[in-house]
Structure 1
Amino acid sequence: MSLPAHCDALLACKTASGKSFETLAKEVGKPEVWLAALFFGNAVADEETAAKIAKAIGCSDEAAVNAMAGRGPGNVGVAGGITRGRGWEWPPRDPTLYRFAEAVMVYGDAWKALIHEKFGDGIMSAITFRSELTRVPDPSGDRVKITLDGKFLKYSDTDDW
């Protein structure tokens, strides 16, 4: 996956800082998964948060900080210029990303059926979305626990038009 130049700059500064996403998230008071998405160009920070992150990782690249805050060439407004999910080949070749695709292929129909059963005809939004990833110790080998927390959006009926 090719990343925008500002992402490469941010990731290089993060690496040089020696800080993990978890540490940075705690420092700036933001969720860890959201912060990681920001570094890959899939989220936009407000100006105050962008400045805090830049300071925390020692990033003096003005273009990278501006892009993080949705400013700069190609950016119109706060979220302008951000293309979430860009650059993925399908199916993904990266083993970790492929396993996510595999989970959706195997469990997607079941998740959809359960959403419809429990909530009605609609979808889980990825717009007002939260996610967490934790390591869970297990005697048979540590487990990866990922929480996907999206608002339920009911499909409109023709009566609603």
Structure 2
Amino acid sequence: MEMSEVTAKLIEAKNRKRATYQDLAEAVGRNKTWVAAVIQGQASMDEKEADALINYLEVPYEEIKHELVAVPYKGSLSEDVPTDPLIYRFHEITQVYGTTLKEIIHEEFGDGIMSAIDFKMDVEREEDPKGDRVVVTLNGKFLPYTKW
């Protein structure tokens, strides 16, 4: 079974159960954003985590477990500019503020990168009288470039 099919089955089961990603995170014992990344095929679970998710969602076990524990092929978007408005905004953020982030990170840490491997991400709601706000936290280890 292809990961796209696994994603569709898991989302269908999540919707059928009326579960949130927070519910899934509690069942698995991980962060909601990480669990969503697994379901989208961008991270992998260990056997225990996969069992917990499968049992919670009551989905056919062997059909999907292999894909949940396999090392994924990362990168869910084509190289074209995304057309989904929400994903496009993140593309826009990096287009407009990417060089700014690069300058600040290099000034604060030196020549290097923010890891996307030793990395955590979270999405929260911040209530605001003018309209609720989306708070996205990207937390990656700094990796300096080595000299040789």
TM-score class, shorter-chain normalisation, is over 0.9
1:105-116 equivalent positions in 2, closer than 5 A: 105-116=95-106
Matched-pair contact (CA < 8 Å) for 1:17–1:58:
no
Q: Which amino acid aligns with 1:142?
A: D
1:109-148 equivalent positions in 2, closer than 5 A: 109-148=99-138
Aligned twin of 1:76? none
Partner deviation per Cα, 1:21-80 (whole Å, 9 max, x = no partner): 01111222101111001111111000000000011111124221221011xxxxxxxx2x
Structure 1 gaps, min length 5: 71-78
Structure 2 gaps, min length 5: none
Partner deviation per Cα, 1:105-151 (whole Å, 9 max, x = no partner): 11111100011001000000101110000000011110000000111
Matched-pair contact (CA < 8 Å) for 2:109–2:142:
yes
Aligned twin of 2:60? 60
Distance 1:3 1:28, change over 3 A: closer
Q: Which moved more, 1:87-96 or 1:126-135?
A: 87-96
Instruction: Supply the RMSD in Å over aligned alpha carbons.
Output: 1.5
Q: Which amino acid aligns with 1:35?
A: V
Aligned twin of 2:16? 16
Q: Which amino acid aligns with 1:67?
A: E
Name the CA distance, whole Å, in 1 between partners of 2:80 and 2:133: 26
Identity %: 37
Following superposition, the deviation at residue 89 of structure 1 comes to 4.7
Following superposition, the deviation at residue 86 of structure 1 comes to 3.2
Aligned twin of 1:45? 45
Matched-pair contact (CA < 8 Å) for 1:9–1:61:
no
Partner SS for 2:87: helix
Is 1:101 aligned to residue 101 of structure 2? no
Following superposition, the deviation at residue 88 of structure 1 comes to 2.9
TM-score, normalized by length of structure 2?
0.93
The equivalent position to 2:82 in structure 1, one of 92, 104, 111, is: 92
Following superposition, the deviation at residue 85 of structure 1 comes to 1.1
Name the CA distance, whole Å, in 1 between partners of 2:15 and 2:78: 23
Partner SS for 2:119: strand
Bigger helix fraction: 2
TM-score, normalized by length of structure 1?
0.86
